[in-house]
Chain A
Amino acid sequence: MADSAGTTLMDLITADPTPAPGSQSSTSASGAMPPPPPPSALGKPVHTERKSKRTTLMQIQADTVSAAKAALHPVRTNIIPQRQKKKPVSYSQLARSIHELAATSDQKSSQKQLVHHVFPKLAVYNSVDPSLAPSLLMLNQQCEDRTVLRYVYYYLARILSDTSAQGLSSGGGIPTPNWDALADIDAVGGVTRADVVPRIVNQLTAEALNADVEFHARRLQALKALTYAPSSNSEILSTLYDIVFGILDKVADAPQKRKKGVFGNKGGDKESIIRSNLQYAALSALRRLPLDPGNPAFLHRAVQGVSFADPVAVRHALEILSELATKDPYAVAMALVAWVFYESGALQDVLHLHDVLARVALARLCYTISRARALDERPDIRSQFNSVLYQLLLDPSERVCFEAILCVLGKFDNAERTEERAAGWYRLTREILKLPEAPSISSKESNTGSKDGLPPKATKDKSQKTRRPQPLIKLVMRRLESSFRNFSRPVLHSAARVVQEMGKSRAAAFALGIQDIDEGAHVNTFSETADSLDTDGYENSHSEGVRRTTSMSNGAGGKDTVASLLASLMEVVRTTVACECVFVRAMVIKALIWMQSPHESLDELKSIIASELSDPAWPAALLNDVLLTLHARFKATPDMAVTLLEIARIFATKVPGKIDADVLQLLWKTCLVGAGPDGKHTALEAVTIVLDLPPPQPGSMLGLTSIDRVSASDPKSALALQRLVQAAVWFLGENANYAASEYAWESATPPGTALMMLDADKMVAAASSRNPTLASAMTRLQRCAFSGSWEVRIVAAQALTTLAIRSGEPFRLQIFEFLQALAQGGVQSQLSDVHVSNGEDQGASGTGIGVLISPMLKVLDEMYGAQDELIKDIRNHDNMKKEWTDEELKKLYETHERLLDLVSLFCYVPRAKYLPLGPISAKLIDIYRTRHNISATSGLSDPAVATGISDLVYESKPASAEPDALDDDLVNAWAANLGDDGLWGKNAPAMNRVNEFLAGAGTDAPDVEEENIISRPSVSYDDLWAKTLLETSEMEEDDARSSGTSSPESTGSVETSISSHFGGMNYPSLFSSRPSGYGTSQSSERPAASRFSNSSTGGPSSMYEGLGSPIREEPPPYTSPSRQRYESFENPLAGGGSQSFGSLDEERVSSGNPQFGTALYDFTAGGDDELNLTAGEEVEIDYEVDGWFYVKKKRPGRDGKMAGLVPVLYVSQS
C-alpha cells in the first residue's frame, strides 16, 4: 500500500499528466524544472522506484556519499540541469541539491531553487536522511530567506522526531530506508541520527534562548522543533524544561492585558505582543512535554496561562490544568482559586474565548474539580466550578455544549461508574442554572457585559427571561432538539451520541433505584426556597450558582415534565433515522436503544430497526456494534432481557449474514442468565423465535428446506441464517433445562414407569401443564428435527437427546417416543426388503438422521430397561423379604456407572446427582457407596473415578486393568471449571469483543472487511463438519481403539473428543460446566494424548478398527446383524454422528470384542425384550446382563425382531 501510494506520489510529483495552467510560473514544480523534462522521461521515476530494495538502498547511499563529497568540494555548482535532463528527480538528487545549494545559500537563485523545488519534493519522502542535517544547519545559520528557514526548521524537526526505525515516523509518503542502518553499512561516510541530533539540539537550543526581539519568530520555531525530540531522552527533556520555564519566568509574571478581540490584535504595543507570542510558544511547548504533577512551578505556570492573551496559549493552559486536575484536583483548584478568581476573573473570560477547544478543556476542568472528593471540605469551590460548567451549557458551539452535557451526565472518560452516571442523571433532571446577575456581587468588572460576545442560542440576551433560572434539563433538551435539526452530519452524530450517553446515565439512575426519580415531576418549578438560598451564598465573588430545588411538587400545573421533554426529544431523534449516513443512523439507533425504557412499548423501536436493517448499505462492523450495544443495555437494565432479545431477533432475521453469531449467542446466554426466575421462560421464547425464521413460507416452516432456492438469491445470508438456526437449536438443547428449572435429578416426578401407561396425548398434556417452558422448547426442537435442513436436524436430534437425558418424566418419555418414531420408520422400510437400499437411509420421514438417533435411542432404551429391571428386582426382594446382597448391589452400581458413562457421552450431567436408574435407585446406590467407601460426589471431578482407579479397585473386568490414560491435570481443570459459570470467561472470542466494547476501548485499526463469513477466525459449524468428515478415518481409528476397552477412561476420551468437536463453536451453554474451556487447547489436546496412550494397549482391538470405520475399503458386510453399524456404514454423511456414536455402542460390548455364538436350543421369548431363538441360529452377543445375553441376529426372525435378551445357557459362545 505504502509502496504503491508512494510510487504514485512520485509519479505525480515528477510527471505532469495535465499541464497545469500556471506551469509557466515559477511556482509550478515540474514546469520550472530547468529544462522541463521531456514527456518521454515521465515514466522514469517509476522504474527507479521499482528497483529492488537492495539496489535502491545502495544507490541512494552511493549518491548521498558522493553528494556529500561534492558538497565538501563545491567545484561543480551548477550540475543539476544536466543531470535532470537524463534522470527524473530522485531522493539522492534532492539530497545532493540541498548540499550544493546550502553552500550557495546567499544567492537568490539558490534560495528560489530550494523553496520551490527541493524542499517541497523532499516533503514527499517518509523521513529525512540525517546526513542532510549538516547542510540544513548550515542553511539555518547562513540563510536569510524566511521561507527557506521555515523549511529548515520543518526538516530539522523531522530528523529529531524520526525514531530511526523505518516507517515509524509520522511522515507518510514515499518510504525511505533506515538511514542509520544504511550509514552503518558504509563505515566511512555514514552519518547516523546519533551523530547529528546533538548538533541539531545544540543549535536549536541556542536559538530558543536567543532573547533578541527581532529573532523571536525564529525562536518560536526553534522551540517548536525541539519539542519533536523524543521524550525518552531525558537530557533534551530537561533542556526543554529549562528553556520553557526560562521564557515563562520572563514573560508570564507581567500584568496581563486581555483584549477583547483576541485575534489580529493590532492595537497592542510591540512589547506586550512579543510577550504574548513567547507565552504562546512556551505553553505550547509545555503542553507537549510530559506532565509533571508534583511540580508547583509547572502548576503555577499553567494557572498563569489561563489569563494569557494568546487564545491558543490559554487553551494549552486549560488542557494542562484539566489533565493535572485528574491527578491532583485539590492542588489545581486551590491554585486556580488563588490566581484566577481573586486576580482576574479569568475563567469567566475563557467562556468568551473564541477557541472552542479551550472551552472544552474548561468544561472538563470544571467537571473534574467540581466532582473531586478531595474538595469535599470546600463546597464553595466546587460550586464555583460547577456553575461555570453549567454556564457552558449555553455555549454557542455544539462541541462545548455537548462536552458540558456529557460532564453533567457524569461521562468523562471511558471508565463507566454507575454511581457517577446516576448522579449525573439526577443533576440533569433536578438542577437549575442561574445566570449571573448583571451587577455582580463581586468587585470584578470583567463580568459586566460578559454576555456580549455570546448570546445563548435558545434565549434572548439581556432580556428578563435570560436572567430567569433555567432548569438544566430544559436547556439541554432544547439544545439537543435544535442540534437534531442541523444538517451537518458530525453534529447529528454527536447529538445522537449525547442522547445515548443520556440514556446510559438514565439507565444507571434507574438501576441504582435513585429515589425521587419521578419523570412525571414538573421541571419548571423554581421555587422560592431556592431563591432564598441566594443569601447564604458562598464567599465567592460570583453569584451565579446552582440551587438544588428541594421540592418539585409546588409547580403550577401545565408545566413540562421530564417525561414530556424526553418524549419530544425522542420524537426528533427518531426522525433523524432518515439521515442518509449509516453512521449517524447507527448512532441514533444506539441512542434509541439506550433511551428505551423497560416499561415503554417496543413496537416503534422494533419497526425502526427492522426497516433500517433492510438497507443493504449497513456495514457489518456497525451492525455488530449495535448488537454489542444491546449487550451493554442489558447489563445496565437486566429487566430488558426480553425486549433486547426481540431486537436481537430482528438482526437475526434481517441480516443474518452480517452479524457475528458468537456475539448473538452470548447475548442470548447473558439475557437468559440475567432474566431472573420469572423472565427465563420469555427469554427462552425470544431465543427460540429465531427458529421460526424466516417468516413461514408456503410449504416450509423454516424456509431452509428450500435452501437451494435461497442460496441462489443470496448464498451468504442463507448460510449465515442456517448457522444461526443451528446455534439457536443448540442453545435451546443446552439451556432449556436451565430455563425451565427442570432437571431429572431434581424432579419430584415419580419414576417413569408410573407414566408408562399414559397414552401420548395425555403425556403431552401432562408435560405442558407441568412445565410449559420445557414443553414448548421441546415442541420447537421436534419441529426442527422434522423439517430443518440436515444440519439443523442433526443438531435438533442432539438437542432433544440432551433434553431427554436431563429432564425428568414425562419429558424424557415423550422425547423417547418422538425419536423412536423418527428413527423406526426407516428401519422398517429397510427391513421390508422391498426397497433396495441405495446406500442411504432415509429414515421414517426422510429426515435421514436415523443413524444418528439410534445410539441416542439406545441410551434411553437402556435407561428404561435398567429402570424396569431395577423395579423388578426391588419387587422381588420385597416379595421375598430378602436383603440385597453385596453382589446384587455391586451389579446395580455397575449398571448405574455404566449408564452414567453412556449418558455423559451425550451431554454433561452432574455425576454425583444423576440417577440413570431413577430416583428409587438412590437408596440402594447409597448403601453400596457407603459400604465400599465410594464418595458420593465422585464423578468426573473425582480423579479416582475419572481415571478409572475406582474401577481398578471395584471392578473385576480385566480390560480396565490398563493404566489410566486421562491426565490428572485435565480432570482437575474440569473440576475447577465445574463451579464456574464461565459467563464472563476470557476465552470466548465474542466475550473479548463485548468486554472491549463495554470498556469503551477499541482504537485499533479497522479491518476493511470483505464481509466474508467463511474467513472468520472462529471455527464455523460447517467447518467442523467438514473437518469431521475429513478426519473421520483417523478419528474412527482412535475411537475404535479406545472402545476396545470399556473402562470409563476410554469413555472420557470419547467425551472429550466430542466436546472438542463442538468446542470450536463456542456455543454457550449454561448448563455445561466448562463453556469457556470449550475448544481450548486443553480439552482438545489432552484427549489426543490419552488416545495415544490408549493405542498402546488397544492392540487387540485392531480388528475392530476396520469394522468401526465408515471409510472401509472392503464392502460393508451386509451380514452384520447390527442395524446400527449397518447404517453407519451406509451413511458417511453423518460422519460426526456415526463416528462418535458408533464407537459408543461398541462401548457397551462388555468384553470389548464382538462375540459370536450359536443357539443351542430353541427359545421362546417370554417378554417384549426377549428374543426368539432357533437352535443352530448364529447370533452376535452384545453384552451379558444377569445371566442373560443381549444378542443380535443376522437377519430378523419370524417375529421381525432382530435383537433381544436370551438366557446365557441357551447360547454357546464361539
Chain B
Amino acid sequence: MLLAVLFANSEGNILVERFSGVPAEERLHWRSFLVKLGADNLKGVKNEELLVACHKSVYIVYTVLGDVSIYVVGKDEYDELALAEVIFVIISSVKDVCGKPPTERLFLDKYGKICLCLDEIVWKGMLENADKDRIRRLTRLKPPTEF
C-alpha cells in the first residue's frame, strides 16, 4: 500500500499531499514526521538523490527536486525499492511538466497539471502508470497507447 505521497517546499510547508489508508488522526503525525525528516537530512542533498527511512514496518523514500522535496511512504509490497520506483516516476513526471527541476513558483504554476499527473501515477494507494509518456497522454485525455 502506498500510504502517502507528499510534496513540501524548502521551509517544510506542504504543497501537495495524497494519503491513502492512513487514518485522519495519524496524518498530522506523518506530516510532521516527514517534514522533520526532510529538515534533518535534506540539506545539501543533490537533486533526485534518494534518501531512505523507516518507521516500524513502514518505509519512506524521499528526495529533493529543485525547491521541492518529495516524500513517498509505503508498506508491504511498497518497500524501499518499490518506493524508489514510484518516486522516480513522480520525479520524471514533475520534470516533464515543469521542464526542469521546479522552483517553488514554477511548481505552483503547474499545480493543476502536477495533480493530474499524480492522479495517473497513484490510484487508490497503488502505483498505476509508470511511463512518463503514457502519463502525459493520459493527463491530456488521450488513450494510454496511441495508434
User: When the two chains form their complex, are residues A149 and B141 in contact, meaning their CB atoms are under 8 A apart?
Assistant: yes
Cα A190 to Cα B52 with chains together (Å)? 47
Over the window 756-771 of chain A, the binary record of Cβ atoms lying under 8 Å from chain B Cβ atoms (1 yes, 0 no) is 0000000000000000
Contacts of B20 in A (CB 8 A): 170
Stretch at the interface among A218-226, A660-668, A688-696: A218-226
Residue of B nearest to A271 (CB): B147
Interface of B, secondary structure class, is: mixed
Given A119-B112, A168-B24, CB of A583 within 8 Å of CB of B31: no
Q: Which residues from A are CB-within-8-Å of B119? A: 154, 157
Q: Once the chains bind, are B13 and A357 in contact (CB under 8 Å)?
A: no
The answer to whether B81 touches A494 (Cβ under 8 A) is yes
- Evaluate contact between A1005 and B33: CB separation under 8 angstroms: yes
Give A1007 to B37 CA distance when docked, in angstroms.
Answer: 12
Query: Which of A398, A625, A997 has a CB less than 8 Å from the CB of B81?
Result: A398
A287, B31: Cβ atoms under 8 Å?
Answer: no
**Which residues from B are CB-within-8-Å of A360?**
77, 82
Whether A399 pairs with B56 at a CB distance below 8 angstroms is: no
Instruction: Give the residues from 69 to 118 in chain B that come closer than 8 angstroms, CB to CB, to chain A.
Output: 75-77, 79-85, 103-106, 108-113, 115-116
- The answer to whether B58 touches A123 (Cβ under 8 A) is no
Of all chain A residues, which has the CB nearest B75?
A1003
A218 to B116, CA, bound (A): 15
B55 at the interface (CB under 8 A from A): yes
Looking at the complex, which one of A123, A151, A399, A621 makes contact with B85 (CB distance below 8 Å)?
Answer: A399
Q: Which residue of B lies closest to A401 (CB)?
A: B81
Q: Which residues of B contact A167 (CB under 8 A)?
A: 24
B143 A274 Cβ-Cβ under 8 A: yes
State whether B17 touches A172 (Cβ < 8 A): yes
Cβ A277 vs Cβ B112 within 8 A: no
Contact, CB under 8 Å: A172 / B16: yes
Would A1003 and B142 count as touching, CB distance under 8 A? no
Question: Would you call B31 and A414 a contact (CB within 8 A)?
Answer: no
Among A245-253, A262-270, A889-897, the stretch that binds chain B is: A262-270
A993: nearest residue on chain B (CB-CB)? Answer: B56
List residues of chain A with CB within 8 A of the CB of B56: 625, 996-997, 1001-1004, 1006
User: Which one, B30, B50, B57, contacts A1005 given CB within 8 A?
Assistant: B30
Q: How many residues of A contact B (CB 8 A)?
A: 98
| A18 close to B105 (CB less than 8 A) | yes
Which residues of chain B are within 8 angstroms of A621 by Cβ–Cβ distance? 55
Mask: chain A, 386-424; 1 = CB below 8 Å from B; 0 = not: 000000000001110010000000000110000000000
Q: Which residues of B contact A150 (CB under 8 A)?
A: 116, 139-141
Determine, out of A1-9, A852-860, A1159-1167, A1199-1207, the stretch whose residues face the partner at the interface.
A1-9
B64 within 8 A of A: no
Q: How far is the CB of A257 from chain B (nearest CB, A)?
A: 13
B93 to chain A, nearest CB (A): 14
Q: Once bound together, how far apart are the Cα atoms of A154 and B84, in whole Å?
A: 26
A1003→B13 CA distance, assembly (Å): 24
Number of residues from B at the complex interface, CB < 8 A: 76
Task: Find out whether the CB atom of B143 lies under 8 angstroms from the CB atom of A490.
Answer: no
| A360→B83 CA distance, assembly (Å) | 13
Is A61's CB within 8 Å of the partner chain B? no
CA distance A1007 to B31 in the complex (A): 10
**A1204–chain B nearest beta-carbon distance, Å:** 64
For B31, the closest partner residue in chain A by CB is: A1
Q: Contacts A167-B24, A490-B80: A584 and B52 contacting too (C-beta < 8 A)? A: yes
- Chain A residues, Cβ within 8 Å of B145: 264-265, 268, 273, 276-277, 310
Q: Name the one of B17, B33, B106, B141 contacting A1006, with C-beta atoms under 8 angstroms.
A: B33
Closest CB in chain A relative to B5 CB, distance in Å: 9
- Report yes or no: A124 in contact with B111, Cβ–Cβ below 8 A: yes
Answer yes or no: A510 CB below 8 A from chain B CBs.
no
A120 at the B interface (CB under 8 A): yes
In the complex where A147-B141, A581-B52 touch, is A263 in contact with B108 (Cβ < 8 A)?
Answer: no
Question: Of the candidates B17, B57, B81, B109, which one forms a contact with A1002 in the assembled complex, judged by CB atoms under 8 Å apart?
Answer: B57
- Given A20-B106, A168-B24, A360-B82, CB of A310 within 8 Å of CB of B57: no
Q: Is the CB of B144 within 8 A of A2?
A: no
Minimum CB–CB distance from A361 to chain B (whole Å) comes to 8
B124 pairs with A1003, CB closer than 8 A: no
Chain A residues lying within 8 Å of B124, measured Cβ to Cβ, are 227-228, 288
Q: Does A28 contact B (CB under 8 A)?
A: yes
Cα–Cα distance between A273 and B134 once the two chains are bound (Å)? 14
How far apart are B145's CB and chain A's nearest CB, in angstroms?
A: 5
- Selected contact of A494 from candidates B18, B80, B105, B138, CB within 8 Å: B80
In the complex formed, the residue of B with least CB distance to A285 is B123
B65 interface residue per 8 A CB criterion: no
Cβ contact within 8 Å between A264 and B139:
no
Tell which of B15, B50, B55 touches A490, judged by Cβ atoms closer than 8 Å: B50
Q: Are A490 and B32 in touch, CB under 8 angstroms?
A: no
Q: Is there contact, CB below 8 Å, between A1008 and B33?
A: yes
Residue of B nearest to A116 (CB): B112
Nearest opposing residue in chain B for A2, CB measure: B28
Complex formed: what's the CA distance from A593 to B132 in Å?
41
* A488–B29 CB distance below 8 A: no
Cross-chain contact B112 with A123 (CB below 8 angstroms): yes
How far is it, in angstroms, between the C-alpha of A264 and the C-alpha of B130 when the chains are bound? Answer: 13
Asked if A813 is at the interface (CB within 8 A of a chain B CB), the reply is: no
Residues of B within 8 A of A1035 (CB): none
Taken together as a complex, chains A and B put the C-alpha atoms of A17 and B145 apart, in Å, by 41
In the complex, what residues of A have CB within 8 A of residue B18's CB?
Answer: 170-172
Kindly state whether residue A217 has any CB partner on chain B within 8 Å: yes
Assess the B140–A146 pair: CB atoms within 8 A. yes
Q: Is the CB of A1008 within 8 A of B36?
A: yes
Q: Is the CB of B81 within 8 A of A402?
A: yes
Contacts A123-B111, A312-B128: A1006 and B55 contacting too (C-beta < 8 A)? Answer: yes
Evaluate contact between B113 and A120: CB separation under 8 angstroms.
Answer: yes
Once the chains are docked, how many angstroms separate the CA of A147 from the CA of B136? 11
A380 contacts partner chain B, Cβ-Cβ < 8 Å: no
A868 proximal to B (CB < 8 A): no
A1184 within 8 A of B: no
Q: Which of A121, A165, A356, A583 contacts B53 (CB 8 A)?
A: A583
Residues of B within 8 A of A446 (CB): none
CB distance from B115 to the nearest CB of A (A): 4
**B14 interface neighbour in A9, A216, A493, A1004, Cβ under 8 Å:** A9
Are A29's CB and B108's CB within 8 A?
yes
Which of B16, B58, B110, B115 contacts A1003, CB < 8 Å? Answer: B58
Contact A9 B58 (CB under 8 A): no
- Given known A-B contacts A172-B16, A583-B54, A1004 and B26 have beta carbons under 8 A apart: yes
CB distance from A409 to the nearest CB of B (A): 15
- Say whether A1006 contacts B29, CB under 8 Å: yes
**A173/B82 in contact, CB under 8 A:** no
Q: Whose C-beta in chain B lies nearest to the C-beta of A168?
A: B24
Per the 8 Å Cβ criterion, residues 466-524 of A in contact with B are: 488-494, 497
* Chain A contacts for B108, CB-based, 8 A: 12-13, 29
Using an 8 Å CB-CB cutoff, how does the interface string of A682-717 with B read, 1 for contact, 0 for none? 000000000000000000000000000000000000
30 A-B residue pairs with CB within 8 Å:
A1-B32, A9-B15, A12-B9, A12-B104, A13-B108, A13-B111, A18-B103, A29-B109, A124-B111, A146-B142, A147-B140, A154-B119, A167-B24, A168-B24, A171-B18, A218-B141, A263-B133, A273-B146, A277-B145, A287-B126, A357-B127, A357-B130, A489-B50, A489-B51, A490-B80, A494-B81, A584-B52, A625-B56, A1003-B56, A1003-B57
10 additional contacts, CB 8 Å, given A264-B145, A273-B147, A1000-B57? Answer: A119-B112, A147-B141, A154-B116, A172-B19, A269-B147, A284-B128, A494-B80, A1002-B56, A1003-B56, A1007-B33
Question: Could you list which residues of chain A lie within 8 angstroms of chain B, going by C-beta atoms?
Answer: 1-2, 4-5, 8-9, 12-13, 16-18, 20, 22, 27-29, 115, 119-121, 123-124, 146-147, 149-151, 153-154, 157, 165, 167-168, 170-173, 216-218, 220-221, 224, 227-228, 263-265, 268-270, 273-274, 276-277, 280, 284, 287-288, 310, 312, 355-357, 360-361, 364, 397-399, 402, 413-414, 488-494, 497, 581, 583-584, 587, 621, 625, 996-997, 1000-1008
Q: Which 7 A-B pairs have the closest CB atoms?
A: A120-B112, A1002-B56, A172-B17, A1005-B29, A1005-B26, A399-B81, A490-B80
